[in-house]
């Protein structure tokens, strides 16, 4: 997407990304749209900008309604538990039935499409963790630009992970899967890290442009990257790069703030399906490699016993149990990113504990013997018990 924006448009876009309130964002985006020259190279960008504007207007509208009437439809779901996982998919595939099967929520289930009108949360228990699973109104696959889709996509954007639900009895299953994947991608929700992903973090403490991550720039040097970012008034930022990334990808991510959401695909109604293996094979071919495709049945429970474990795995998190000397470990785990170190655990407990860190004793998978003494950069594993000693 080489948009070749004039400097004026770049400045407007920078204003948009700096805007804090929904109102300011709307205003900045409107100004940006009117400053972009309309031609082939800016088509995608304009499509994105108009969609984003529609989403923002919707958000503002919902907020106003809530303020005025008090009881407007509640579209935003407050996060609870270790992570929020949003389920989305076409009508009547069994999203609500899955929520009812794996959580204690009691959503309305019916053979009629569009029964679910509002997002509905339930808690999915996995060992000593709970994940918040959110059922959503159906996506309208035939009309990707529909404002109903905006709201559901808004929920997805705010989630920690996604579950895309389809069913074996859909007349055009593969096409539906492609269309939903495309709809997400078009709106800047990336479900796979294999494609190459750029994340731009403009943190206050950062000086200059720093590139991190496991990926690499394929067609440019870091100097080119710096120049591009400077044209968007980005001088201080951490650029996280996954997979192979071109300068165009970097520009797209400035323009469209793409976000990665770990994702799994469930194909429901396995109880009434025939030729499951072949269908799975075909769907897996459409889905990115790192998005698992799993046959389930809300009716029989098949495949859903493992859902908690799958969610835990896709979130790439681990549990750490802290303890004080001569005391039992806290039964409530701390949730940290896989790869976190002892000092990061200390930071989560208390800033002071991290500041005065001396050493830690660790029990569990990351050490050779129970109670082993480790330094601040020791990497913890799921289930570890950590006792931090400070000055
Ligand atoms: N055979 C079968 N029917 C199901 C299954 N899950 C849901 N259904 C039926 O499919 C219809 C739509 O279910 P619902 O959960 O409301 O779908 P939603 O629109 O995606 O929330 C209802 O008639 C359900 O009884 C399943 O695993 N197997
Ligand atoms: Mg439903």
Query: Given CA atoms 233, 236, 242, 246 in this order, what sign does their dihedral have?
Result: positive
Query: Given CA atoms 276, 281, 286, 287 in this order, what sign does their dihedral have?
Result: positive
- Examine residue 77 and state whether it is found in any structural domain, yes or no: no
Split into its structural domains, the chain has a count of: 4
Q: Strand 384-390 relative to strand 372-374: parallel, antiparallel, unpaired?
A: unpaired
Q: Kindly list the protein residues whose Cβ atom lies closer than 6 A to any atom of ligand 1.
A: 91-97, 109-111, 115-116, 138, 268-269, 271-272, 297-299
By alpha-carbon position, which residue is closest to atom 17 of ligand 1? 94
The residue segments making up the domain with residue 236 are 193-260
CATH number of the CATH domain containing 4: 1.20.58
Structure tokens at 325: 């000397």
Residue 10 has pLDDT above 90, yes or no: no
Which residue out of 86, 92, 93, 94 has the highest number of ligand 1 atoms within 8 Å of its CB and is therefore the one to mutate? 94
Residues 261 and 191: beta-carbon distance below 8 Å: yes
Q: Ligand 1 centroid vs 174 CA: distance in angstroms?
A: 19
Distance spanning both ends of the chain, measured CA to CA: 54
Q: Strand 120-126 relative to strand 129-135: parallel, antiparallel, unpaired?
A: antiparallel
Same domain, 290 and 381: no
- Examine residue 123 and state whether it is found in any structural domain, yes or no: yes
Q: Ligand 1 centroid vs 171 CA: distance in angstroms?
A: 15
- Examine residue 78 and state whether it is found in any structural domain, yes or no: no
- Examine residue 79 and state whether it is found in any structural domain, yes or no: no
Query: Could you tell me the pLDDT band of residue 187, with boundaries at 50, 70 and 90?
Result: confident
- Examine residue 34 and state whether it is found in any structural domain, yes or no: yes
3-state class of 32 per DSSP?
A: helix
Which residue out of 109, 113, 122, 274 has the highest number of ligand 1 atoms within 8 Å of its CB and is therefore the one to mutate? 109
By alpha-carbon position, which residue is closest to atom 12 of ligand 1? 92
How far is Cα 100 from Cα 217, in angstroms, rounded to an integer? 45
* Average pLDDT for the chain: 90
How far is Cα 146 from Cα 116, in angstroms, rounded to an integer? 17
pLDDT tens-place string over residues 39-59: 887 887 888 888 888 888 888
Q: Ligand 2 centroid vs 112 CA: distance in angstroms?
A: 9
CATH number of the CATH domain containing 373: 3.10.20.30
pLDDT tens-place string over residues 312-332: 999 999 999 999 999 999 999
Same domain, 176 and 266: yes
Query: Given CA atoms 136, 137, 140, 141 in this order, what sign does their dihedral have?
Result: positive
In DSSP notation, 85-115 reads: EEEE-STTSSHHHHHHHHSS------SSTT-
By alpha-carbon position, which residue is closest to atom 28 of ligand 1? 269
- Examine residue 363 and state whether it is found in any structural domain, yes or no: yes
pLDDT tens-place string over residues 96-113: 999 999 999 999 999 999
pLDDT tens-place string over residues 123-167: 999 999 999 999 999 999 999 888 889 889 989 988 999 999 999
Which ligand lies nearest the alpha carbon of 88? Answer: 1
* Ligand 1 nearest atom to the CA of residue 99, by list position: 15
Q: Strand 244-245 relative to strand 216-217: parallel, antiparallel, unpaired?
A: parallel
């Amino acid at each position: 997407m080489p948009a070749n924006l004039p400097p004026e448009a770049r400045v407007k876009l920078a204003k948009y990304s700096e805007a804090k309130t929904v109102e300011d964002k709307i205003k900045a985006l409107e100004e940006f749209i009117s400053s972009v020259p309309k031609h082939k190279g800016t088509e995608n960008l304009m499509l994105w900008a108009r969609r984003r504007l529609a989403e923002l207007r919707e958000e503002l509208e919902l907020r106003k309604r809530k303020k005025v009437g008090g009881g407007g439809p509640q579209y935003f779901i407050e996060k609870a538990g270790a992570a929020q996982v949003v389920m989305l998919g076409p009508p009547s595939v069994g999203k609500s039935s899955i929520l009812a099967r794996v959580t204690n929520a009691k959503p309305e289930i019916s053979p009629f499409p569009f029964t679910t009108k509002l997002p509905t949360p339930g808690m999915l228990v996995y060992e000593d963790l709970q994940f918040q699973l959110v059922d959503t109104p159906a996506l309208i696959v035939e009309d990707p630009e529909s404002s109903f889709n905006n709201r559901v996509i808004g929920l997805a954007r705010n989630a920690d992970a996604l579950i895309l639900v389809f069913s074996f009895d859909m007349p055009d299953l593969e096409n539906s899967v492609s269309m939903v994947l495309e709809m997400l991608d078009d709106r800047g929700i990336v479900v796979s890290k294999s494609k190459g992903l750029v994340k731009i973090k403009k943190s206050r403490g950062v000086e200059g442009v720093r590139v991190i991550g496991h990926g690499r720039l394929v067609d440019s040097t870091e100097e080119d990257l710096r120049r591009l970012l400077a044209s968007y008034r980005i001088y201080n930022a951490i650029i996280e790069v996954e997979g192979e990334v071109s300068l165009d990808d970097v520009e797209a991510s400035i323009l469209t703030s793409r976000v990665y959401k770990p994702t799994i695909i469930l194909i429901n109604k396995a109880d009434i399906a025939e030729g499951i293996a072949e269908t799975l094979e075909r769907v897996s071919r459409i889905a990115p490699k790192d998005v698992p495709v799993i046959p389930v049945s809300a009716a029989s429970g098949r495949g859903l016993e493992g859902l908690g474990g799958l969610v835990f795995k896709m979130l790439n998190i681990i549990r750490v149990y802290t303890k004080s000397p001569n005391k039992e470990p806290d039964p409530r785990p701390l949730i940290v990113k896989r790869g976190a170190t002892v000092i990061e655990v200390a930071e989560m407990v208390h800033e002071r504990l991290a500041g005065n860190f001396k050493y830690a004793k660790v029990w569990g998978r990351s050490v050779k013997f129970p109670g082993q003494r480790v330094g601040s950069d020791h990497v913890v594993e799921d289930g570890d018990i950590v006792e931090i000693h400070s000055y």
